[in-house]
Homo-oligomer: A and B are copies of this chain.
């Protein structure tokens, strides 16, 4: 065993993913070319096809890693919040938006691309579903504690996801006239707070 380097990169597949992420953080997503990734990694432009069926498959792998990072970011946010379910829900939303604006190109690959597979669906999109689960579980915890309105949790999670996703996209695309990081963080908190008031059990 211990089969060292099967070729000069040890793991070309991972090198291509890392190279793609590095390139999209430098430039933007649309101008990313498979040939440029290959060049960067030091391999011929045809080599990636040993590991990915096409450009879209490579981007799907990049998206997968992004969702793993998003999940971790939300969990860190939750860990730093107080125990109150509504506080944890807010922390989840704020962490979501902050992850997106910290990694705009990566976030665009996760969503902006292809039609995409359903995420709020356990069957497909493993990493995406994991991320969505974090949000869903905070809703369910809020319901169990009696501070989030009752009823099916799933549609409530879709409301929450729509709001944070929409804010993230508007901020990333520079659609809102905000620039200072502090303004952006304040808005993320305000939006998430207003959302949570809509989800909260009235009275």
Contact = CB atoms under 8 A, between A and B. Distances in A.
Contacts of A169: 111, 165-166, 169
A174 B119 CA distance: 9
Interface string A147-178: 00000000110110111111111100111110
Task: Choose among A115, A163, A199 the residue with the greatest number of B CB atoms under 10 Å from its CB.
Answer: A163
A72 interface: no
A156 B197 CA distance: 13
A162 B161 contact: no
A202 interface: yes
A183 B168 CA distance: 25
Task: Choose among A159, A161, A162, A197 the residue with the greatest number of B CB atoms under 10 Å from its CB.
Answer: A162
B121 A173 contact: no
B173 A162 contact: no
Contact of A120 (B156, B165, B177, B191): B177
A166 B162 contact: yes
B199 A120 contact: no
A158 B191 contact: yes
Contacts of A83: none
A187 interface: yes
Q: Which 10 A-B pairs have the closest CB atoms?
A: A166-B166, A198-B198, A162-B166, A162-B167, A165-B166, A121-B177, A197-B198, A118-B177, A163-B163, A116-B173
8 contacts: A111-B173, A117-B174, A120-B175, A163-B163, A163-B166, A166-B167, A194-B199, A196-B198
